[in-house]
Amino acid sequence: MKISWQVIALGVAFCTLWSSAFTVGKFAIDAAPPIWFLVIRFGLAFFVMWAVLAVMRRGLPGNRRDMVTAIGLGILNNALYLGACYIAFQSVSSGMVAMIASLMPLVTVALAWPLLGEAPTVRKVAGLALGMGGAWYILGSRLGQNVVVDDPVGLGIAMVGMVCLALGTILYKRRGADADPLAMNAVQAGAAAVVLLPVALVMEEPDITFGWTLIWTQAYTVLVMTFATLLLWFALIRKAGAGAASTFHFLNPGIAMLIAWVVLSEPIALSDVLGLIPVAAGILLVNWPSGKPKPVTPAA
pTM: 0.89
Domain boundaries, the chain: 5-287
- Contact call for residues 185 and 41 (beta carbons, < 8 A): no
CA 227-78-161 angle, 5° bins: 130
Residue 204, classed as helix, strand or coil, is: coil
Q: Is the pLDDT of residue 146 over 80?
A: no
Q: Is the pLDDT of residue 104 over 70?
A: yes
pLDDT band at 234 (very low <50, low <70, confident <90, very high): confident
DSSP string, 44-86: HHHHHHHHHHHHTT--S--SHHHHHHHHHHIIIIIIIIIHHHH
Q: What is the mean pLDDT of residues 113-117?
A: 89
Tell me the residue type at 134: G
d(CA 201, CA 35): 9
CA 233-235-239 angle, 5° bins: 115
pLDDT band at 244 (very low <50, low <70, confident <90, very high): confident
pLDDT band at 297 (very low <50, low <70, confident <90, very high): very low
In 75-100, which positions are buried (b, 16+ CB within 10 angstroms) versus exposed (e)?
A: bbbbbbbbbbbbbbbeebbbbbbbbb
Q: What pLDDT score does 296 carry?
A: 39
The mean predicted confidence, pLDDT, of the chain is 89
Q: What is the mean pLDDT of residues 175-194?
A: 87
pLDDT band at 172 (very low <50, low <70, confident <90, very high): confident
CA 57-63-68 angle, 5° bins: 115
Q: Is the pLDDT of residue 201 over 60?
A: yes
Q: What is the mean pLDDT of residues 258-279?
A: 93
pLDDT band at 140 (very low <50, low <70, confident <90, very high): confident
Q: Is the pLDDT of residue 298 over 50?
A: no
Q: What pLDDT score does 145 carry?
A: 62
DSSP letter assigned to residue 222: I
- Contact call for residues 269 and 276 (beta carbons, < 8 A): no
Neighbours of 62 (CB within 10 A): 11
d(CA 266, CA 16): 17
Q: What is the mean pLDDT of residues 245-267?
A: 92
Q: Is the pLDDT of residue 209 over 70?
A: yes
Neighbours of 174 (CB within 10 A): 12
Q: Is the pLDDT of residue 235 over 90?
A: no
Q: Is the pLDDT of residue 74 over 90?
A: yes
Collect all residues with Cβ–Cβ distance below 8 Å to 288 and sequence separation of at least 6.
1, 123, 243, 247
Neighbours of 147 (CB within 10 A): 19
Q: What pLDDT score does 3 carry?
A: 64
